[in-house]
Amino acid sequence: MPKNSRSTDIYDQSYLERLKSLEIKRKVIVDILKNYKNIDRAKVEVLINNFEHPDSQGLRKINPIIFSFLLDSLFNIQENIEIKIAEFEKNRISRYVLFEILFWAKPSAYPFPNERIENYKAFISKKRLKLKEIKLENFLQLYAIESVESENFLKDVKEAIFKVNPENLEEYLWVKDFVEYLSPIEKSEIKKKVHPYVWKVLSSKEQNIPVIIDGNNVLLAPELRGPDKIDSLLEHISRLAPTYFPFYLVFDANAKYKFRTSYFNYKRTYYHSPADELILGLAKEVKGVVCSKDKFKDYNTDIKNIWYDLKF
């Protein structure tokens, strides 16, 4: 996210509006936190809708009574912060929810957790220096500045995502680091407009598995529809639980004379006859899977073929 908060004018209208919005939001949140002993699912939902860190969605799974006990411990028991973090995580609540609660409860002392935090005390020290450097009164003001910059940056991220397609996807992998900061509405909007395979790769937190696609075989498959069958195949692949990326395409040497597809220009497209040798060789080399209607019975291989996992 943007690093230099000094570039934002504290008298700028967008900053002042953002600060006012955060102050209103804080009042709603603090009113609930003050009465944490009577918290229920409806109030937890209000917190989720007002919290800003994406990890707050995990609160939907927590029993309100357990959450009340965790808040009581957080506010009233003098313990090392690591012990409190462990209590939250034991109940499957992200540490970033704890950090955000502290921020809303006491923004004079606790910053908003808007970056990856390995050491919380070091994070607080760094943010205090930043607060002093740009001469602000509290971390609510600092977060207002940082989030205005973030909003502007995320607009650029959204614009970048709309340029992505399966063929140029690898050029935009930097976007993955920022997708989680988009709002649920923004994510839904993007998901509707981009290729499903693009969204799967950019939004997935799972480890990627390379896939080698049998190009000739796929282009002949009657199960696939649409102007480009490879686009259709990638959409089906995106519906599988694992994230299969990057994808490689292997065609017979004379494929360009038989078929039409924009993927002939894709940077991971290869030509070889017989194609089977290169398909299996590549899969072994990159520790990936293959996608082909061919079962490769002439080869002694245990490489997974995901074609038979697809739902048509």
By the 10 Å C-beta count (0-12 exposed, 13-18 middle, 19+ buried), 146 is classed as: buried
In this prediction, residue 306 carries a pLDDT of 97
> In the prediction, which pLDDT does 5 show?
42
The pLDDT of residue 304: 95
Q: Report the interhelical angle of 139-161 vs 184-193 (nearest 10°).
A: 10
- Is pLDDT at 3 greater than 80 in this prediction? no
- Residue 208 has phi, psi (to 5 degrees) of -80, 150
In this predicted structure, what is the pLDDT of residue 272?
92
Least confident of 41-50, 76-85, 150-159, 246-255: 150-159
Query: Residue 13 is inside which H or E element, if any?
Result: helix 13-34
Say if residue 246 is preceded by a cis peptide, omega within 30 of 0. Answer: yes
Provide the whole-model pTM: 0.60
HSE (side-chain half, CA atoms, 13 Å) at 108: 0
Burial 275-284 (b: 16+ CB within 10 A, else e): bbebbbebbe
Q: What pLDDT does residue 305 have?
A: 96
Query: Residues of 290-303 as b/e, b for ≥16 C-beta within 10 angstroms?
Result: bbbebeeeeeebeb
pLDDT of res. 6: 43
pLDDT given at position 288: 97
**Mean pLDDT within 82-108:** 96
Q: Looking at the DSSP assignment, which residues form a beta bridge with residue 68?
A: none
One-letter amino acid of 203: S
Asked if the model's pLDDT at residue 131 lies above 50, the reply is yes
Q: Is 53 exposed, middle or buried (0-12, 13-18, 19+ CB in 10 A)?
A: middle
Q: What's the Cα-to-Cα distance from 21 to each of 44, 161, 296, rounded to whole Å?
A: 20, 27, 61
Segment 190-234, tens digit of pLDDT:
999 999 999 999 999 889 999 999 999 999 999 998 889 999 999
Computed over every residue of the chain, the mean pLDDT equals: 91
Q: What is the DSSP letter of 8?
A: S
Domain boundaries along the sequence of the chain = 5-150, 202-309
The whole-number pLDDT of residue 94 equals 95
